[in-house]
Amino acid sequence: MPPPEGGVPLRLPEPFRWNSAATTEGGRPMKRWTLSKKCGVFLFCIGLTAPLAMADEDEQQSVTVAFGRGLNTAQVGNIVNHAILPNNIKIKQDGVVQFLVAGFHEPVIFVPGVSHDDILKIANSGTSTFIFDPTKPPPPGAFYFGINPAGGPLNTPATPVVPGDTRSNAQNRVESIGFPANRGTGNPSSPVAQPGVYLVICNVRQHFQTGMFGFVSVEAEGD
Ligand SMILES: [Cu+2]
């Protein structure tokens, strides 16, 4: 049934019927198509802008960070892969940072007040693979001490596809670090994250020395 003169069709028009017989019934079906196209474009635009607006909020509460630039990073001296991206992370208290650890890396995060120079002095005073032994308790000032990338004492073996492929899921993993306003439970438990700037390093000595570090700025909720 055609809509009242000058009115809008009560039924939602079917968007892709413009090539059907209905299009030959005078001009009105064409108007239907035009209207449905406008509706479609409008809804499409809402679809595009709504997630962007929400992402703006989400970025402050959940941030994904590349910890290593690619999976196959076990080669000594491959400084291309000694990267934290982005390396200047902002998050609200109670937020979480997901480090996508790709390769032989170990994230360590220090409380505000521990500086890059403090750690560089320690790093330059030794020569072993790690700055802080991953099989020992966390170093002073550590807010978070990452998972041993060698897979612990069992040294989880790689699952090579081709000879020389050293990838394994002991090295390639997600480490999810919360910055809560209240202490959590568990072992290790989540310590309270006071607002401030937290230094993030890779505990592999050479990686840190070649620039694998960054910062997480934790803002108080409401700021
Ligand atoms: Cu590293």
CATH number of the domain within which 203 lies: 2.60.40.420
**Residue 98 Cα, ligand 1 centroid: separation in angstroms?**
16
**Residue 144 Cα, ligand 1 centroid: separation in angstroms?**
15
**Residue 18 Cα, ligand 1 centroid: separation in angstroms?**
58
Cis peptide before 153 (omega within 30 of 0): no
**Residue 30 Cα, ligand 1 centroid: separation in angstroms?**
61
**Residue 168 Cα, ligand 1 centroid: separation in angstroms?**
15
Residue 97: inside a domain, yes or no?
yes
Q: Which domain holds residue 35?
A: 21-57
Given 6, 36, 57, the domain boundary residue is 57
Is there a single domain that holds both residue 95 and residue 66? yes
Is there a single domain that holds both residue 112 and residue 210? yes
Distance, CA of 1 to CA of 10 (rounded, Å): 10
Cβ–Cβ under 8 Å, residues 105 and 208: no
Q: Which residue has the higher pLDDT, 143 or 6?
A: 143
Q: Could you read off the pLDDT of 149-180 as tens digits, one per residue?
A: 876 655 667 677 788 777 777 778 899 999 99
Q: Could you read off the pLDDT of 77-121 as tens digits, one per residue?
A: 778 889 999 999 999 999 999 999 988 899 999 999 999 999 999
Section 195-207 average pLDDT = 96
Residue 128: inside a domain, yes or no?
yes
